[in-house]
C-alpha cells in the first residue's frame, strides 16, 4: 500500500548548528513556526508516512510512485504579494488527492474585503476546490474569503498544533499553572522593523519586560536578525554588517546601550530548530506571551499558559477560533507588567476545552474522510 506524503519537516532540522543561516531558514520556510504545525501533523498520523523534502526529494515522479495522498500542514498561504508558483505547480503535477490543514488567509484586519492575489494563489484555491475533499481552515474569516472565490469544501479546525498534547488532564494542568505567580516567562517577537509603529512599540515592551525580568525572548524569523544572533557560529558564513546591531537596537531596545543589547541577545534570545527542545524549554517557564501564534502554542501545548497579542487577522482569527486567551497589541500597550497582563484576561478554560473538543472532531473527520489513520484524541 502506498504511503501518506506530508509536506515539510518532522518538526526539527537535523545538524542545524552546522548549517549556514541561509540554508537553515530555507529548510524552515523562513519561519521556525512552520516546524510546530509540521510536527503536529507528523505526530497525528498513525501509519507509514514520508515527509517530502526530508525523507524523499521534491520529485514529482517519485512522490506519485510513493504516496497515495498528500497532507499539507498549511500556514497563511492565502495572502497578497506572494508568488507561490513553484509549490503550487508541484502539488498540481503530482495529481494526488490533497489534504490542507490549518490553511489561512492574511489581511490587515477583518474589515479588508478586496484582495489582489498572484495567479499562483488563485490556482491554489482551485486545487483546494478540485483536489481536496475537505480543507481544514484556520477560521471563519478564511472560510468566508474562500467562499467568495467559490471554494466551499472547507471546515474550520484552527491549527493542528492545538492537538499536540494528548493528555486528558491537559486543560486542568494549564488552569493549575495559570493560578501560580509568574516568576519566569518567554516572549515571542515578530519583526524588528515593522511599518506599524504601534506594533513596534508592543515588541519593545515585550523586550523591556524580558530584559528587566526573568524572561527569555524568542525569535522565529527575519533573516538579518537571525544572522546577527548566530554570528558567533562559525558555520553561519554570511557577512553580518556592523550596522545591523545598531539598527536592531534602535528599533527594538532604544534605551539599551549596544553592549547591553549584545548581552541581551547572547543570554536571553532563543532560536529553536527542534520542536521537542522548544516545548521542553517552554515547559520550564511559568508563562508565555507573544505576537506570533506558534511561539505561544509551543508553551501552551507543553502545559505553560499563554496570552496571544494580535496585530492583524492572522493571529486574531486563530486565537478566536480556538478560544485562546488574547488581546490586541494596542490593549497590550496599556499594561505595565506581565502580572497586570495576566490579571486583565479571563482564560475561560472550560470554554477552551469545549471548543477544542468540537474542533478535534472536525479535525479527525478530515483524516477519516481521506482514509488516513490518525491518533488525534
Residues 159 and 174 in one domain: no
Q: Answer whether 38's CB lies under 8 Å from 11's CB.
A: yes
Q: What are the pLDDT digits (tens) for 28-64?
A: 999 999 999 999 999 999 999 999 999 999 999 999 9
For 185, the domain range is: 170-348
Question: How many domains does one find in the chain?
Answer: 2
Alpha helices, DSSP H only, in the chain? 21-27, 33-44, 60-66, 85-94, 119-131, 140-148, 170-178, 197-212, 223-229, 243-252, 258-268, 275-283, 293-301, 313-322, 329-332, 338-343, 349-369
pLDDT in tens, 7-27: 999 999 999 999 999 999 999
Any domain includes 377: no
- Same-domain status, 204 and 272: yes
Region 56-78: what's the mean pLDDT?
A: 97
State the pLDDT at residue 112: 86
| Residues 151 and 182 reside in one and the same domain | no
Q: Which DSSP state fits 11?
A: S
Residue 322 has a pLDDT of 98
Contact in structure between 36 and 161 (CB atoms under 8 Å): yes
* 177 in the same domain as 157: no
In a domain, 374, yes or no: no
- Regarding whether 35 and 107 lie in a shared domain, the answer is yes
Give the pLDDT mean for 142-147. 96
Q: How far is CA 305 from CA 208, 273, 287, in A?
A: 20, 22, 5
Does residue 376 fall inside a structural domain? Answer: no
Task: Please tell me whether residues 10 and 137 are part of one structural domain.
Answer: yes
Q: What is the CATH number of the domain that holds 150?
A: 3.40.50
Q: Label residue 66 by pLDDT band (50, 70, 90).
A: very high
List phi, psi (to 5°) of 291: -95, 0
Q: Do 56 and 123 sit in the same domain of this protein?
A: yes
Q: Is residue 41 located within the same domain as residue 151?
A: yes
Q: Residues 71, 194: one domain?
A: no
* 375 found inside a domain: no
pLDDT over threshold 90, residue 357: yes
Amino acid at each position: 500500500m502506498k504511503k501518506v506524503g506530508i509536506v515539510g519537516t518532522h518538526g526539527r532540522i537535523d545538524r542545524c548548528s552546522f548549517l549556514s543561516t541561509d540554508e537553515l531558514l530555507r529548510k524552515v520556510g523562513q519561519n521556525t513556526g512552520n516546524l510546530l504545525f509540521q510536527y503536529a501533523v507528523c505526530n497525528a498520523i498513525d501509519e507509514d508516512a514520508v515527509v517530502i523534502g526530508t525523507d524523499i526529494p521534491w520529485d514529482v515522479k517519485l512522490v506519485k510512485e510513493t504516496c497515495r495522498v498528500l497532507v499539507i500542514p498549511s500556514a497563511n498561504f492565502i495572502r497578497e504579494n506572494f508568488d507561490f508558483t513553484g509549490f503550487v505547480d508541484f502539488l498540481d503535477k503530482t495529481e494526488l488527492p490533497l489534504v490542507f490543514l490549518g490553511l489561512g488567509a492574511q489581511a490587515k484586519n477583518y474589515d479588508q474585503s478586496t484582495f489582489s492575489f498572484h495567479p499562483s494563489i488563485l490556482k491554489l484555491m482551485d486545487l483546494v476546490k478540485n483536489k481536496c475533499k475537505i480543507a481544514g481552515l484556520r477560521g471563519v474569516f478564511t472560510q468566508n474569503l474562500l467562499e467568495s472565490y467559490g471554494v466551499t469544501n472547507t471546515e474550520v479546525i484552527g491549527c493542528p498544533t492545538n492537538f499536540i498534547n494528548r493528555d486528558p488532564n491537559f486543560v486542568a494542568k494549564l488552569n493549575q499553572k495559570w493560578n501560580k505567580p509568574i516568576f519566569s516567562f518567554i516572549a515571542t517577537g515578530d519583526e524588528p522593523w515593522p511599518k506599524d509603529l504601534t506594533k513596534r512599540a508592543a515588541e519593545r515592551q515585550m523586550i523591556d519586560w524580558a530584559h528587566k525580568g526573568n524572561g527569555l525572548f524568542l525569535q522565529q524569523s527575519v533573516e538579518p536578525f537571525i544572522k546577527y544572533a548566530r554570528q558567533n557560529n562559525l558555520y553561519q558564513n554570511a557577512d553580518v554588517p556592523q550596522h545591523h546591531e545598531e539598527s536592531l537596537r534602535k528599533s527594538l531596545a532604544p534605551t539599551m546601550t549596544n553592549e547591553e543589547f549584545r548581552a541581551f541577545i547572547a543570554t536571553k534570545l532563543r532560536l529553536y530548530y527542534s520542536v521537542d527542545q522548544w516545548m521542553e524549554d517552554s515547559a520550564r517557564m511559568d508563562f508565555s506571551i507573544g505576537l506570533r501564534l506558534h511561539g505561544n502554542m509551543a508553551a501552551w501545548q507543553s502545559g505553560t499558559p499563554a496570552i496571544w497579542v494580535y496585530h492583524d487577522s492572522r493571529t486574531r482569527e486563530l486565537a478566536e477560533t480556538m478560544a485562546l486567551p488574547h488581546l490586541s497589541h494596542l490593549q497590550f500597550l496599556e499594561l505595565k507588567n506581565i502580572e497586570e497582563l495576566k490579571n486583565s484576561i479571563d482564560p475561560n478554560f472550560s470554554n477552551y476545552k469545549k471548543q477544542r473538543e468540537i474542533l478535534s472532531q472536525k479535525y479527525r473527520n478530515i483524516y477519516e474522510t481521506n482514509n488516513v489513520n490518525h491518533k488525534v484524541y
